[in-house]
Structure 1
Amino acid sequence: MNQATSCRMPDNLKTTDGSERRVGVEIELSGLGYEQLVTLVAELLGGKAVLESRYVSKVDTPLGYFIIELDSEPVKELALADERLPQSIRELGGQAMDVIDAAAERIVPLEIISPPMFFSELEPIEALVESLRKAGALGSRNAIYFAFGLQLNPELPDLQPATLVRYYQAFALLYDWLKALHQLDISRKFTPYIEPWSSRYTDLLVADDYAPDQHEMMVDYLETNPTRNRALDLLPLFAHLDKPLLDQYVKDPRIKSRPTLHYRLPDCDIDNPEWHFSTVWNDWVVVEQLANHADDLAELRALFRESRKISLRNLTQNWQETSAKWLHSKGYV
């Protein structure tokens, strides 16, 4: 695999207990039938598939269990197997279910959910994406109702508030740069679930003296972002840190507790031969690197604060351009 399509590793590859960090990957796509996708994933990853429930399969691979599902609870929960129903109803309903299935597979995303994988194990995901493209997988650009994403759930090196704040700051500073690269499809631009953090919170976050404890850190975020619908969703992390506090602001059964960030911004442009999983991952690694280089992080925070002021320079150059030039000048990209 050449350098352009290989997954870079961040400098900070270990957790505080010395184990390699892990990341979960979620890929939304269409263009393939459900059973076809399950079969392909099993073949490509050397695994064995087992149907867990309607439109949910588990594939046992050397990397762990991958879940393949249709990303729609109402369709997954449809069932006519209840023997209390008259046979005539079950037979008629079965024909309707065939129509529902055919329609659902065209307009509802199929989703591949990886197990937590070591950062160094990600190359098979790159190969999987390339193979699915060749098999006919489709991404966001193919229909206005497609709003498919590629999501990352990177484990953090530790859960100390100072570490978490550095990661939040790095993402906030690079949001415009990342969005220009990876959130291109019009169907996702008009959906609410990849919004930036509130401007008020970002201004608080990038102050040089911002050093909250865990409780203050969570409250500051939740006061202005009490929703899953953010490009970097912190609610799974907060559920892990302090579920009772999170429940005071947001109660949603879809929030899964985990010691990770939930990066939701990138499109899944899987049928574009110029698009690669590794590109999405490598741009996330830029966030990682910035978060772990204190002097650079402080310098970019100062530039960001300056960009918020009214000036002739700020009227002629936006933050996305400024941050992109800064990253190039510092050798991050």
Structure 2
Amino acid sequence: MDDIEFKSPPVRNNPEGEERKVGYEFEFTGVSMETVAHMLQELYGGDVHQISTYEYSITDTSLGTFKLELDAQLLREKKYEEFFQKIGIDLSSYKRKESLEDSLKDMASSVVPFEIITPPIPLSKMGRLTKMVDKLRKHEAKGTGSSFVYAFGLHLNPEVPDYSVSSILNHLKAYILLDNWIRKDSKINLSRRLTPFINEYEENYIQHILNPDYKPDLEQFIRDYFEFGNSRNRPLDLLPLFMYLNKNLTSSLIKDTLTSSRPTYHYRLPNCSLEDENWFLAQEWNRWVLVEKLASDKKSLNQYARAYLKMKRDTLIRFENKWIKLMDRWVKDVQ
């Protein structure tokens, strides 16, 4: 299975007519940050910069700038310094500050992952990331399945092919229709299912957006997203895209300081199973491509949206199993 190819989405260019790019975020532990930083340099060239105890950047590589950090905002932004200052301890004068930071990093990394944030990678070059996955595996990186407490994920940030509300709504509809099938096919880890990071959309919101009469403008679409209780903790997080398209409105509604503005979908669902030799990056990307295929096929999208609403209305038990079987037939037809 090592020859799995990254499949092409229906639209390869972004709204500006350039080849679309995809950013990836890999969560893992078990390998020192210094080792990973120099591993990335070995693979892609560039220069290693240690920004702090908890953050590196690898600049001027053949793919762009990689970031490597401990995925804990408290440590990265050194908010612990504020705490110590409040109790009368000035860490700037503490002779063993680096030792303290190393200890904090070691404790945190047992439950909080390191994270590689790739530069935006052109569709035609995504296969080059396979070498990085192989190297991390050789270094015995610990991924999602290495421990019950490792709710580690792989995040995909594909550049949107179209800024229109209808296109974004169609991608959201397509994802929701495929969500249960993807969760089963990708065997989402129990630790991730038990955490709030990839909560399913609430049924009242699903019913709302699948209604064929729902044709919002951008402002209404954004307001509805928040009105129905959605946050960044959704398998398909639209907040970065909303920030990009209407920063003032989104900023006024959002409470999360972690959301940045990006012209991308933020697909948060997949495991990051680096420890599993049968796990491949291309498989996760190819499941996302299914979402884009359904979103671009308006006839099928509308057909399955109507089927979902009808089946939900008529089915009292085992709805999820029946729906997965229906979507499985569609997947087999398009693959």
Structure 1 window deviating more from structure 2 (318-327 vs 10-19): it is 318-327
CA separation in 1, counterparts of 2:212 and 2:262?
28
The number of residues matched between the two structures is: 326
Structure 1 position 52, deviation (Å): 2.0
SS of the equivalent of 1:67 reads: strand
State the partner residue of 2:213.
209
Matched, 1:293 2:325: no
Are 1:169 and 2:173 counterparts? yes
Q: CA deviation at 1:98?
A: 3.8
1:234-289 residue CA offsets vs partner (Å, 9 max, x unmatched): 11111111122223321322110111111001111111001011100011011111
Looking at structure 2, the residues matched to 179 and 256 of structure 1 have their Cα atoms a distance apart, in angstroms, of: 26
How big is the shift at 1:302? 2.1
**What's the offset of the Cα at 1:316?**
9.2
8 A contact 2:54–2:105 mirrored in 1: no
Specify whether residues 304 and 86 from structure 1 end up closer, same or farther in structure 2 by C-alpha distance, changes over 3 A only: closer
Deviation of 1:94 (Å):
4.7
CA distance 1:226–1:86, shift in 2 (3 Å) = closer
**Contact 2:53–2:101 under 8 Å retained in 1:** no
| Identity score, percent | 33
Q: 2:130 aligns with which of 126, 131, 134?
A: 126
Give the corresponding residue for 1:310.
Answer: 314
- SS of 1:50's equivalent in the other structure is strand
The one of 120, 126, 130 equivalent to 1:116 is 120
Closer/same/farther in 2, CA of residues 243 and 86 from structure 1, 3 Å limit: closer
Q: Quote the residue 1:63 is aligned against.
A: 63
Q: Which amino acid aligns with 2:32?
A: G
Distance 1:72 1:216 in 2: 33
Q: Which runs of 5+ in 2 are unaligned?
A: none
In structure 1, what is the equivalent of residue 72 of structure 2?
Answer: 72
Q: Secondary structure at the match of 1:217?
A: helix
TM-score w.r.t. the length of structure 2 is: 0.90
- CA-CA distance at 1:63 after TM superposition: 0.7
Would you say the 8 A contact 1:226–1:250 is kept in 2?
no
Residues 219, 86 of structure 1: CA spacing in aligned structure 2 closer, same or farther, 3 A cutoff?
Answer: closer
Distance in structure 2 (CA, Å) of the matches to 1:255 and 1:316: 31
SS across alignment from 2:49: strand
| Number of the residue aligned with 2:29 | 30
Inter-partner Cα distance in structure 2 for 1:106 and 1:85: 24
| TM-score normalised according to structure 1 size | 0.90
Distance in 2, matches of 1:198 and 1:20, equals 34
Structure 2 counterpart SS, 1:146: coil
C-alpha separation between the residues in 2 aligned to 1:196 and 1:314?
A: 17
Unaligned stretches of 5+ residues in structure 1: none
The range that moved more, 167-176 or 240-249, is 240-249
Measured against aligned partners, the alpha-carbon deviations of 1:13-62 in whole angstroms (never above 9, x if no partner) come to: 01232111111110001110111111111112223211123321111211
What is the rounded CA distance, in whole Å, between the counterparts of 1:69 and 1:39 in structure 2?
A: 14
